[in-house]
Chains A and B, each alone.
Chain A
């Protein structure tokens, strides 16, 4: 591998910022239920692509920012992001080899884990009950992955992020 002076790390950071903005967009209530977990899946991409740069520390900070942005109890998304990132780091090599639909399925499972953790910890002591709808972002994120993966790979190659 050729060692490059510039790693162009600002590119992933910009994509994450865009993901934050997408996750905070106001929209119709029924769309909100199925709105994909933008920050999580964009971050998973960068973990798989550059595991030596993006790890658990990043996951923790991003999760905290997400908590602040969404007004959740502090640490809820941080915990979910750390757990999911850990799984992603364990199998990043497998994931790289997988076909697109296999990756999409793994993303589905990872986002579902994320949703369970954040839903359970956020729901302590409140009287929210709406069945299993909180899992809806998982399949949506899985389908979105098929497109997002291609886009982010294009971005990574175009800007030579290393």
Chain B
């Protein structure tokens, strides 16, 4: 008796299978699924279809976020007066510090503009910022993605860089009307062009699928990079604006016989904690997005 025998018998005996319709259905649905996967890998148009289909699961995403939102709401209302006063004081102090820096920054910006004028550089420093809130994170550990509450209705577009208060978080990979999906820089599919802030050394930081690490794979063994170096976005690739902190080098491994050094860096953004995010829009960026649409 061969293995397929009981399946065959089941198909004959079992009225539920009505002949072989289940097998037929199985083959048909299987083929549809496989062609969907292939299409999703191959064609860019799938992005837009996915954007509209995602509306179907938006209510689930909102529902899942309800406990967290109500907890924050309760927490804000139940905080004791003393705590609020203390927090207020602390925030005032922080604002003061920040203001001092901003004053300095204003002077530097003006100076920068003047110097750029001297150089006849056309590069602009102004960027539009949208503040967005996280409404869900992906529950699948293989893909590092978060969902935010801005969709194309409020100006988010595919390819838009996303930051938090401390560094680059990622970029938008799909938008629907009211939500967008952000691919984090630590996702195994993601790479971001960076440079070492100290000396301008350029490289690319790859995600490894772990929240704490990025890897630089293409630095020669003799490259000038040290533990503690800050990596900032280099602006090459025209996706991320230049000069935002991305990661801090935590390990440089030289091994004899290898052409490339192994460099690990820890993202400066709080990828698994931040709840308020900034969507950056540079004029240059928007042009690219528009071209991509056509």
List residues of chain B with CB within 8 A of the CB of A65: 56-57
How distant is A97 from chain B, measured CB to nearest CB, in Å? 14
List residues of chain B with CB within 8 A of the CB of A86: 22, 26
Enumerate the 3 nearest inter-chain pairs by beta-carbon distance, A residue then B residue, closest first. A75-B36, A79-B33, A128-B188
Q: Decide: B60 and A128 in contact? CB cutoff 8 A.
A: no
Asked if A5 is at the interface (CB within 8 A of a chain B CB), the reply is no
List residues of chain A with CB within 8 A of the CB of B50: 68, 74
List residues of chain A with CB within 8 A of the CB of B41: 73, 124-125
Q: Decide: A82 and B26 in contact? CB cutoff 8 A.
A: yes
Q: What are 22 A-B contacts with C-beta separation under 8 Å?
A: A20-B60, A27-B139, A32-B139, A57-B29, A59-B29, A64-B53, A68-B56, A71-B145, A71-B174, A72-B140, A75-B32, A75-B37, A78-B29, A78-B33, A79-B37, A83-B30, A119-B142, A121-B37, A124-B41, A126-B188, A126-B189, A130-B209
List residues of chain A with CB within 8 A of the CB of B60: 17, 20-21, 24, 69
Q: Decide: B33 and A56 in contact? CB cutoff 8 A.
A: no
Asked if A90 is at the interface (CB within 8 A of a chain B CB), the reply is yes
How distant is B208 from chain A, measured CB to nearest CB, in Å? 7
Asked if B10 is at the interface (CB within 8 A of a chain A CB), the reply is yes
Asked if A154 is at the interface (CB within 8 A of a chain B CB), the reply is no
Most buried by A among B32, B33, B40, B173: B33
Could you give, for residues 183-213 of chain B, a 1 whenever the CB lies within 8 Å of some chain A CB and a 0 otherwise? 0000011000000000000000010110100
Q: Decide: A21 and B143 in contact? CB cutoff 8 A.
A: no
A99 to B54, CA, bound (A): 40
Could you give, for residues 38-77 of chain A, a 1 whenever the CB lies within 8 Å of some chain B CB and a 0 otherwise? 0000000000000110011101100111001111111110
Asked if B138 is at the interface (CB within 8 A of a chain A CB), the reply is yes
List residues of chain B with CB within 8 A of the CB of A89: 16, 22
Tell me which of A56, A78, A127, A130 contacts B36 (CB under 8 A): A78
Interface bracket on A: 35 or more
Most buried by A among B136, B141, B209, B211: B141
How distant is B218 from chain A, measured CB to nearest CB, in Å? 14
Q: Residues of B with Cβ closer than 8 Å to A?
A: 7, 10, 16, 22, 25-26, 29-30, 32-37, 39-41, 46, 50, 53-54, 56-57, 60-61, 63-64, 68, 136-143, 145, 173-174, 181, 188-189, 206, 208-209, 211, 272
List residues of chain A with CB within 8 A of the CB of B174: 71
Asked if A35 is at the interface (CB within 8 A of a chain B CB), the reply is yes
Q: Decide: B25 and A55 in contact? CB cutoff 8 A.
A: yes
A122 and B136 contact, Cβ closer than 8 Å, known pairs A26-B68, A51-B16, A89-B22: no
How distant is A17 from chain B, measured CB to nearest CB, in Å? 7
List residues of chain A with CB within 8 A of the CB of B32: 60, 75, 78
Apart from A26-B139, A74-B50, A79-B34, list 14 A-B contacts with CB within 8 A: A21-B60, A24-B61, A24-B136, A29-B211, A59-B29, A68-B56, A70-B139, A71-B140, A71-B173, A74-B37, A74-B53, A75-B33, A82-B26, A128-B209
List residues of chain A with CB within 8 A of the CB of B272: 29
Q: Residues of A with Cβ closer than 8 Å to B?
A: 17, 20-21, 23-27, 29, 32-33, 35, 51-52, 55-57, 59-60, 63-65, 68-76, 78-79, 82-83, 86, 89-90, 119, 121-130, 134
A83 to B32, CA, bound (A): 12
How distant is A33 from chain B, measured CB to nearest CB, in Å? 5
Q: Decide: A60 and B29 in contact? CB cutoff 8 A.
A: yes
Q: Decide: B57 and A69 in contact? CB cutoff 8 A.
A: yes
Q: Decide: A90 and B139 in contact? CB cutoff 8 A.
A: no
Q: Decide: A24 and B64 in contact? CB cutoff 8 A.
A: yes
Tell me which of A68, A76, A119 contacts B37 (CB under 8 A): A76
A17 to B41, CA, bound (A): 28
How distant is A94 from chain B, measured CB to nearest CB, in Å? 10
A71 and B29 contact, Cβ closer than 8 Å, known pairs A20-B60, A29-B211, A128-B209: no
Q: Decide: B46 and A74 in contact? CB cutoff 8 A.
A: yes
List residues of chain A with CB within 8 A of the CB of B209: 126-130
Chain B residue at minimum C-beta to C-beta distance from A51: B16
List residues of chain B with CB within 8 A of the CB of A20: 57, 60
Q: Decide: B64 and A32 in contact? CB cutoff 8 A.
A: no
